[in-house]
A and B are shown apart, each in its own frame.
Chain A
Amino acid sequence: DGGITQSPKYLFRKEGQNVTLSCEQNLNHDAMYWYRQDPGQGLRLIYYSQIVNDFQKGDIAEGYSVSREKKESFPLTVTSAQKNPTAFYLCASSPDPLALTYEQYFGPGTRLTVT
């Protein structure tokens, strides 16, 4: 079964700690994305990658970092510099780096709570 997996489903951390969210896909897609979702704000793009070993900042990249060493993996690190990290994080992929006509495929999300 092809798809995107995100782990864990729920994650709890203390303030000041870095935390890494996992995203893996076996769809052989070139493009991968990280979004943050807060109530009433829709999806906001954190980072995206159109090809291995390359990634670009999205609208709210401050306090986050990513890597794309393998086509199937795109982990997101939430650093202590992120002022308000508690949110629902969604990973997505697309077979078309331009994402013009192909839809995005989303993982189930990770809910991060920082106290």
Chain B
Amino acid sequence: GNSVTQMEGPVTLSEEAFLTINCTYTATGYPSLFWYVQYPGEGLQLLLKATKADDKGSNKGFEATYRKETTSFHLEKGSVQVSDSAVYFCALSLASGGSYIPTFGRGTSLIVHP
């Protein structure tokens, strides 16, 4: 079946540090890939997405590139802020064997200190 693996958290950084959160996937086919963000006590919201290989998704200073050769979609930001503290979820979506359900990683908590 399909699966998404994210690096374990929490990731703790100082403000203005560089962020990388690793995400790799297993899928039989060519999925669409997503990063969602969840702030404390809230639902998830889409951060960025990429629908085919070599696409780069970007939003609010965050970027991720769809790498088919390494089956990865790592999230990066050049300079994090305290307000970026949240849980980040990597997800894929693929129609496979009659199942059309997005698959989520376990989430990576990011804590940014002033």
Binding site for B on A (CB under 8 A): 4, 6, 33, 40-43, 45, 48, 50, 58, 90, 92, 97-101, 103-109, 111
Contact: B100 with A101, CB < 8 Å? no
Binding site for A on B (CB under 8 A): 32, 34, 36, 41-46, 49, 51, 89, 93-95, 100-102, 104-107
Task: Please count the residue pairs between chain A and chain B whose beta carbons lie under 8 angstroms apart in the complex.
Answer: 59
New A-B contacts (9) at CB < 8 Å, excluding given A33-B101, A104-B44: A41-B106, A42-B104, A43-B44, A43-B107, A90-B44, A100-B93, A101-B32, A104-B102, A109-B43
Contact: B43 with A90, CB < 8 Å? yes
Dominant secondary structure of chain B at its interface with chain A: loop
The CA of A78 and the CA of B7, in the complex, are separated in Å by 32
Contact: A100 with B32, CB < 8 Å? yes
Contact: A99 with B42, CB < 8 Å? no
Choose among B42, B44, B46, B94 the residue that contacts A100 (Cβ–Cβ < 8 A). B94
Chain A hits for B43, CB < 8 A: 4, 6, 90, 92, 106-109
Choose among A42, A48, A58, A104 the residue that contacts B106 (Cβ–Cβ < 8 A). A42
Chain A hits for B100, CB < 8 A: 50, 97-100
Contact: A98 with B44, CB < 8 Å? no
Contact: B104 with A99, CB < 8 Å? no
Minimum CB–CB distance for B4 against chain A, Å: 9
Chain A hits for B102, CB < 8 A: 99, 104
